[in-house]
């Protein structure tokens, strides 16, 4: 599908959806000049904050200002009471950016949003790891049937590129293992513990800074990292490993004393998600590990993510960058949108 003027829909207008909108609003001219990418955002779907539709394009500047002032879009003249699925079907945007909250149990409502968008012929980009972890093969099948793309760069390291780095930039390499810090919350907590905080103090500080949820279980018990490990196992090794089958241990039993003692020995404790190939078997795990400070992962501090990819041709390649944030994750969605744009340009020239 090629469109001279791309019509974009944003599903979910929380931090990530607003982050993408801010980028599109701020860089509209630059995107046109650098990439020949012209667009309109024709709908925003968010039952809580308010859904909008205008086939001729929404005024993103006005929308974002209203969101900042009121926390709601329900007073906008473009407001619609239509449900998200109905809006996706009616708008039939060229690209739908799905940015709702991750549900690791069922993948909903993001899974239904993606199914609907792909089935009506919309390309889909997403940062929502639930549907990708639980139903990637199904979604890719629906995309193929309808001649559209499904891209999801942001589901492992947020805005820091890793999926397309491995699948595209490292084409031809055999991946032996991937291991990294894929959860910024736990890395922040462990970094604070090295400063002398005990676990609960460090967790409270992470919550105060907005890095940890009020219920931090998904992060500190390793579930978030385990979901990302299942995605990496599928994408990089072709292995179907369930989240519940991953050997998983979080950081709740790590003490300040262990962290400080490790530092004295020239090591740091990091929560590491690892997928590796041993013979014909693919093994995945999440656990706190002692990492030498001389290794790239050993010097990753604060709410930062990093991934080391071991390959046959390149040896070890490590990418380090932010693992969260509205603009950072919005950038992941933008990179996928521009990748779709490039693919479609190539198909018509």
Listed in sequence order, the residues at least 6 apart from 18 whose beta carbon sits closer than 8 Å to its beta carbon are: 64, 67, 326, 330
Residue tagged 């990439």 (tokens): 35
Give the integer Cα–Cα distance in Å for 130 and 152.
Answer: 11
Strand pairing report for 304-311 and 281-292 = unpaired
Q: Can you name the residues that pair with 181 across neighbouring β-strands? A: 306
Give the integer Cα–Cα distance in Å for 61 and 77.
Answer: 14
326, 12, 339: which is closest to 152 by C-alpha? 339
107, 60, 117, 111: which is closest to 87 by C-alpha? 117
**315-322 β-sheet, strand order:** 247-248, 281-292, 267-278, 175-181, 304-311, 315-322
Is residue 129 among the annotated active site residues?
Answer: no
CB distance 45 to 80 below 8 Å:
no
Q: Can you name the residues that pair with 283 across neighbouring β-strands? A: 276
Listed in sequence order, the residues at least 6 apart from 61 whose beta carbon sits closer than 8 Å to its beta carbon are: 25
DSSP sequence for 146-183: TT--EE-THHHHTTS--HHIIIIITTTPPEEEEEEE--
Choice among 116, 192, 228, 234 that is catalytic: 228
Q: Give the residue numbers annotated as catalytic, written as ranges.
A: 228
């Amino acid at each position: 599908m090629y469109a001279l003027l791309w019509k974009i829909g944003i599903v979910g207008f929380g931090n990530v959806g607003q982050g993408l909108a801010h980028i599109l609003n701020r860089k509209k001219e630059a995107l046109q000049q650098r990439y020949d990418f012209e667009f309109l955002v024709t709908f925003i779907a968010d039952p809580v904050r308010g859904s909008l539709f205008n086939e001729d394009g929404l005024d993103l500047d006005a929308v974002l200002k209203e969101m900042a002032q009121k926390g709601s879009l329900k007073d906008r003249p473009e407001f619609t009471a239509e449900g998200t699925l109905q809006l996706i079907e009616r708008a039939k945007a060229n690209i739908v950016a799905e940015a709702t909250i991750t549900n690791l149990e069922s993948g909903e409502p993001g899974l239904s949003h993606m199914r609907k968008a792909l089935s009506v012929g919309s390309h889909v980009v997403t940062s929502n790891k639930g549907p990708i972890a639980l139903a990637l093969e199904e979604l890719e099948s629906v995309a193929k049937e309808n001649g559209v793309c499904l891209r999801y760069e942001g589901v492992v390291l947020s805005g820091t590129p890793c999926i397309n780095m491995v699948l595209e930039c490292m084409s031809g390499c055999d991946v032996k293992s991937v291991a990294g810090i894929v959860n910024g919350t736990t890395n922040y907590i462990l970094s604070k513990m090295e400063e002398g905080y005990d676990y609960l103090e460090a967790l409270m500080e992470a919550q105060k800074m907005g890095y940890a949820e009020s219920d931090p279980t998904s992060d500190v018990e390793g579930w978030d990292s385990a979901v990302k490990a299942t995605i990496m196992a599928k994408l990089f090794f072709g292995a179907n490993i369930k989240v519940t089958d991953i050997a998983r241990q979080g950081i709740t039993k790590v003490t300040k004393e262990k962290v400080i003692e490790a530092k004295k020995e020239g090591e740091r404790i990091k929560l590491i998600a690892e997928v590796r190939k041993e013979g014909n078997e693919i093994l995945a795990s999440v656990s706190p590990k002692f990492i030498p400070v001389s290794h790239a992962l050993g010097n990753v501090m604060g709410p930062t993510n990093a991934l080391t990819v071991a390959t046959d041709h390149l040896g070890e390649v490590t990418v380090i960058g932010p693992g969260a944030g509205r603009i950072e994750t919005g950038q992941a969605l933008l990179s996928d949108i521009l990748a779709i744009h490039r693919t479609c340009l190539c198909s018509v020239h």
